[in-house]
């Protein structure tokens, strides 16, 4: 059973947020303190039956709410409240569909095929946990329960029922940064977890039959329960009734919870050299520890492929890992995710760009409250991203977006920005995007509006916008965006914004003086005059033809050899704006 989504209210910075999870691998990204670890904490509390601390309540809130939806359509609701003493009280409810029990109501022989544990699980799910010890008694209890709720079952009623635990949920395995670097804890808490847990189910010969340690322990507790209850009712109850005459019986219930053996086990992992000398892995560097953890994870993933139904939470496992090791980490995570559900937090651009954008969730912190952004799983949108060369880091870690109209600007603007500012666009978290075709524009606009609605957009357009329908289409598609700033360049296009001297010298230097003999300042001036006379004349194309070179090559040459003081004023204004 997979976790489809979680909705959280009033847990620390998670004021009101809903996160959808992929069935295989989900990547959570965001700046520090954006809520990534907080999300993992509420998942752990919800799935492992824990309680939040009083300080975990969002400022001024009296309750924390959490709703979990699973792939089986199971929906569970948790509510945590602080009582008058400040103690946190939990209420757990499950949305049940009474119609699912109709087969047992209509065919009573269906009950006969059930075992005692199966009936207990059904009763617990519908808020009626059973303490019956024999199969016949629990079957009678189940039949009575069905009759009492016949109307709900026949009417297929949907209802919230208070339950003690969430049954059938995936096993949670949390691998945080501490466990990744503390190899001993990792081996104990993750690698050997199932082996330790299996101790309770190990069969032991007793009285001519085999029983597990857990069953032996449970039987002994039940014996104690029956014995002490009998003893109290026979010997203590008469004394109680002297001043509490309305008490008819004293009930003593002992609840058993399998003891977590890992809490009392110590594990040490050491490397031994060819001379038999041991060195504790705990004394090795962080990189070695994480590589060792990766090797064990890979082995566990391959060994446990058939077990499934596990939810792995990896909290920034890429820390201290070289890019090559990060590639290995991705392979391990993908292997684990083939049979289990994996959720990972990361700061690594390498890992982020290795994932489909639809697998990524961005947590943002604004005014002390976390918000989530994600991209719907749309094959056509993913193809557009790929065709435009847009990486996930552009989508999720961008401060500003700069749209340009063509490849010339896409190549030249970053070079000129560096010339003018001494900085690089990517270091300033500025993404430069080029809408390369009219068909991609609606999808690109949708991506921007879904994922970057709060990211300022800047558009650099040629002055002949009236003759460029695809740019007009893009601007119209983005007109609902919160903030768009437009800069126009040139008489008509990018290349004619530069003076003749700069264009001439740039191309000549690019070709080390071995340029076409027709490449002269006079010829360039002649092309510029034609530009002013013909509204459809393309100055950039004319320069390319004159130099017998590619238009993009000329734009790159101009950018590389243009002096700082010759950068067109329109670009200077653009660069100053981008740096703000």
Q: How confident is the model over 437-461, as pLDDT tens digits? A: 444 555 666 666 666 667 788 888 8
In a domain, 252, yes or no: yes
Nearest alpha carbon to residue 189 among 280, 256, 269, 286? 269
Distance between CA atoms of 202 and 261, rounded to whole angstroms? Answer: 14
| pLDDT, greater one: 246 or 476 | 246
In a domain, 323, yes or no: no
Segment 281-294, tens digit of pLDDT:
888 887 788 778 87
Region of poorest pLDDT, from 346-360, 396-410, 463-477, 549-563: 463-477
Do 499 and 557 belong to one domain?
yes
In a domain, 7, yes or no: yes
Distance between CA atoms of 472 and 229, rounded to whole angstroms? Answer: 83
Segment 486-539, tens digit of pLDDT:
888 888 888 989 999 999 999 999 888 787 788 889 998 988 888 777 877 888
What is the domain extent for residue 70? 3-22+46-162
Burial 208-243 (b: 16+ CB within 10 A, else e): eeebeebeeebeeeeeebeeebeeebeeeeeeeeee
Residues contacting residue 292 through CB under 8 Å, at least 6 positions apart: 183, 269, 281, 284
In a domain, 204, yes or no: yes
Distance between CA atoms of 242 and 251, rounded to whole angstroms? Answer: 18
Burial 294-329 (b: 16+ CB within 10 A, else e): bebbbebbeeeeeeeebbbbbbbbbebbeeeebebb
Do 134 and 210 belong to one domain?
no
Single pTM value for the model: 0.68
Angle, vertex CA 393, rays to CA 388 and CA 398, nearest 5? 95
In a domain, 341, yes or no: no
Q: What is the pLDDT of residue 438?
A: 44
Do 487 and 567 belong to one domain?
yes
Q: Which of 238, 266, 294 is the last residue of a domain?
A: 266
Q: Please provide the average confidence, as pLDDT, over all residues in the chain.
A: 82
Do 111 and 211 belong to one domain?
no
Do 392 and 524 belong to one domain?
yes
Do 470 and 528 belong to one domain?
yes
Q: Which of 266, 287, 319 is the last residue of a domain?
A: 266
Segment 238-284, tens digit of pLDDT:
888 888 888 888 888 777 666 666 667 788 888 887 888 888 888 88
Q: How many domains is the chain built from? A: 3
End-to-end CA distance of the chain: 49
Instruction: Check: CB of residue 130 under 8 Å from CB of residue 120.
Output: yes
Do 530 and 443 belong to one domain?
yes
């Amino acid at each position: 059973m997979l976790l489809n989504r979680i909705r959280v209210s009033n847990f620390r910075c998670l004021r009101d947020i809903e996160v959808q999870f992929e069935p295989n691998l989900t990547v959570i990204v965001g700046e520090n303190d954006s809520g990534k670890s907080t999300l993992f904490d509420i998942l752990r509390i919800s799935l492992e039956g824990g309680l939040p601390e009083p300080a975990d309540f969002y400022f001024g809130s009296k309750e924390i709410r959490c709703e979990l939806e699973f792939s089986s359509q199971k929906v569970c609701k948790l509510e945590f409240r602080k009582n008058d003493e400040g103690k946190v009280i939990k209420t757990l409810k499950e949305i049940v569909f009474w119609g699912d029990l109709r087969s047992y109501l209509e065919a009573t022989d269906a009950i006969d095929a059930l075992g005692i544990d199966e009936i207990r699980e059904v009763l617990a799910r519908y808020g009626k946990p059973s303490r019956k010890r024999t199969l016949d008694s629990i079957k009678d209890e189940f039949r009575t329960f069905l009759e009492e709720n016949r109307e709900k079952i026949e009417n297929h009623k949907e209802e919230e029922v208070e339950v003690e635990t969430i049954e059938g949920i995936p096993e949670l395995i949390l691998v945080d940064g501490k466990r990744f670097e503390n190899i001993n804890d990792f081996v104990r808490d993750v690698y050997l977890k199932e082996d330790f847990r299996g101790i309770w189910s190990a069969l032991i010969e007793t009285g001519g039959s085999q029983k597990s340690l857990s069953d032996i322990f449970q039987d002994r507790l039940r014996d104690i329960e029956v014995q002490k209850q009998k003893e109290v009712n026979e010997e203590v109850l008469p004394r109680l009734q002297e001043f509490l005459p309305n008490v008819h019986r004293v009930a003593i219930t002992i609840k058993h919870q399998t003891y977590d053996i890992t809490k009392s086990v110590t594990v040490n992992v050491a490397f031994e050299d060819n001379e038999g000398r041991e060195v504790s892995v705990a004394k090795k560097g962080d990189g070695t520890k994480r590589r060792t953890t990766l090797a064990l994870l890979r082995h566990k993933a391959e060994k446990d492929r058939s077990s499934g139904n596990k939810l792995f939470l990896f909290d920034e496992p890429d820390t201290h890992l070289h890019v090559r090791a990060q590639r290995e980490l991705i392979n391990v995570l993908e292997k684990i995710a083939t049979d289990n559900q994996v959720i990972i937090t990361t700061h690594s651009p390498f890992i982020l760009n290795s994932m489909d954008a639809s697998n990524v969730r961005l947590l943002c912190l604004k005014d002390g409250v976390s918000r989530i952004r994600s991209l719907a799983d749309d094959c056509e949108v993913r193809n557009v991203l790929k065709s435009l060369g847009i990486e996930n880091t552009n989508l999720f870690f961008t401060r500003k977006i700069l749209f340009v109209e063509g490849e010339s600007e896409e190549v030249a603007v970053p070079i000129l920005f560096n010339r003018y500012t001494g900085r690089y666009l990517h270091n300033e978290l500025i993404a430069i995007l080029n809408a390369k075709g009219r068909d991609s524009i609606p999808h690109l606009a949708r991506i921007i509006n879904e994922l970057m609605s709060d990211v300022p957009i800047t558009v650099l357009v040629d002055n002949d916008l009236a003759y460029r329908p695809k740019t007009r289409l893009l601007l119209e598609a983005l007109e609902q965006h919160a903030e768009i700033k437009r800069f126009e360049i040139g008489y008509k296009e990018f290349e004619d914004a530069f003076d003749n001297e700069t264009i001439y010298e740039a191309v000549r230097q690019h070709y080390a003086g071995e340029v076409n003999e027709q490449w002269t300042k006079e010829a360039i001036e002649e092309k510029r005059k034609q530009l002013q006379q013909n509204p459809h004349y393309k100055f950039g194309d004319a320069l390319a033809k004159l130099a017998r070179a590619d238009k993009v090559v000329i734009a790159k040459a101009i950018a590389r050899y243009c002096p700082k003081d010759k950068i067109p004023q329109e670009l200077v204004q653009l660069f100053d704006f981008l740096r703000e």
